[in-house]
Copies of this chain bind each other. A is one copy, B any other.
Amino acid sequence: MNARPSLAVAQRSLGDPSLSYPLLPPLTRGCPETSTPSVAYPLEVDYDYARVPGDLFAQAPLPDIARWSPLLPPLAAPTLGEGGTPLLEFDGVYVKDESRNPTWSHKDRLNRVTVSAAVAAGAPGVVVASSGNHGASAAAYAARAGLPAVVLASAESPPAVQTFVRAYGAKVLTVPADRRWPLLREIVDELGYHPVSNQSVTHTGHPYGPEGYKTIAYEVFAQLGRVPAAVFTPTGYGELVYGVWKGFAELHRLGVAAGTPAVFTCEPAAGGPTARALATGEPAVIVPAGHSAAYAILCDVGGHRGVRAVRDSGGQALLVSDDAMRAAQRELALRGVWQELSGAAGLAAFRALGREFDGPVVCVATSSGFKDLGVGGHRAEVVEDPTWRDAVSPR
């Protein structure tokens, strides 16, 4: 595919939209002017929207997000065929199955963009702190681009996920949880490795990252032939929900779509920094986090992006219990879609909300069931003298 040139022009502060910075270097520690010792504001990417090709949204939503390159930062890293995931309909609810990406989660859309930034910056490597999906995805894209990768992993990851994160040849260091972010900063400072995860007091992450998630909105619009009424996304730091929201907002701004959806952040009830920040009116907060098996989205540190997506879209910040996620996980599995527990948070929150919408509802399902806690933990007993009656006996 011959990608068209990027129209990215600047980094713009989410703390004060009148503040903008050159596109390079990526401001990976948040907005230097509006951030304070207790709250950091992310940056996002601004484009020359007047020059967006008129036929951009007429194309088929196939894999390789380079097809949307005018509205992405420059893609200097090669593709693994991210995106182009199916939108499935189950009794009127649409499920965007992101387990169909190269490393079987939505994170691949982000890492195509952030590893591209590392390549463009001439960095000697990539570093990421992650409990699973993000680390494996960054390792895969770094490997594809020929860059060394360091993954700072947590010891609590499920065993199958530990194998997964190590599969792509990265240097994986399993370190105590409280050492991960300081060590990441050290590796950035001492080795010049490009960071593709967070370094700030509240979450800002990579300024380019959510741009990759915008492509979910472009695909959903193409697949539905219209804008949905509501989108429910599993939410950790809020990069996914912000990207999806921004994609729909762009479609509206460009006159391609007639409106925008309400977007809903769906966080484990044991944490929920986005819901807390919206409830208290703060830009971003840190909360105590209890226990949840949805480890991929359980956060104590929140960020401003989720707050903005909910507020700007007229959505809502929802909290979901582990039981509700388990029920949604089972509902999806009994329709043939096996998600990790976190991946079912969107559907769980939609079911718990119990609200009718005047238009299609899309639940983003983020990741394969293979990444769940407990996978591989149980060996089946052998039935020694089976007959056909065993096939219909109660379980």
Asked whether A163 and B378 contact (CB < 8 A) given A183-B387, A391-B171, the answer is yes
Distance of A187 Cα from B391 Cα, bound (Å):
7
Is A380 a contact of B164 with CB atoms below 8 Å?
no
Distance of A64 Cα from B174 Cα, bound (Å):
40
Asked whether A159 and B377 contact (CB < 8 A) given A183-B386, A384-B176, the answer is yes
Is A382 a contact of B144 with CB atoms below 8 Å?
no
Partner of A376, one of B153, B159, B173, B379: B159
Does A357 make an interface contact (CB < 8 A)?
no
Least Cβ distance of A160 to chain B in Å?
Answer: 4
Least Cβ distance of A195 to chain B in Å?
Answer: 12
Is B162 a contact of A378 with CB atoms below 8 Å?
yes
Is B164 a contact of A338 with CB atoms below 8 Å?
yes
Does A158 make an interface contact (CB < 8 A)?
yes
Does A88 make an interface contact (CB < 8 A)?
yes
Is A337 a contact of B176 with CB atoms below 8 Å?
no
Least Cβ distance of A304 to chain B in Å?
Answer: 29
Least Cβ distance of A119 to chain B in Å?
Answer: 14
Of the stretches A3-11, A17-25, A96-104, the one at the interface is: A96-104
In the complex formed, the residue of B with least CB distance to A183 is B386
**Total residues of chain A contacting the partner, CB 8 A:** 81
A358: B residues at CB distance < 8 A: none
Is B375 a contact of A173 with CB atoms below 8 Å?
no
Is B61 a contact of A62 with CB atoms below 8 Å?
yes
Is A162 a contact of B379 with CB atoms below 8 Å?
yes
Does A155 make an interface contact (CB < 8 A)?
yes
A155: B residues at CB distance < 8 A: 379-380, 382
Q: Which residues of A are interface residues toward B (Cβ below 8 A)?
A: 60-64, 79-81, 84-88, 97, 99-104, 127, 140-141, 143-144, 150, 152-153, 155, 158-160, 162-164, 166-169, 171-176, 179, 183, 186-187, 189-191, 193, 330, 333-338, 368-370, 374-384, 386-388, 390-392, 395
15 extra A-B contacts, CB within 8 A, seeds A60-B62, A168-B333: A84-B86, A100-B101, A102-B337, A143-B333, A153-B380, A160-B376, A163-B375, A164-B369, A168-B338, A169-B334, A172-B380, A175-B382, A176-B384, A368-B368, A376-B376
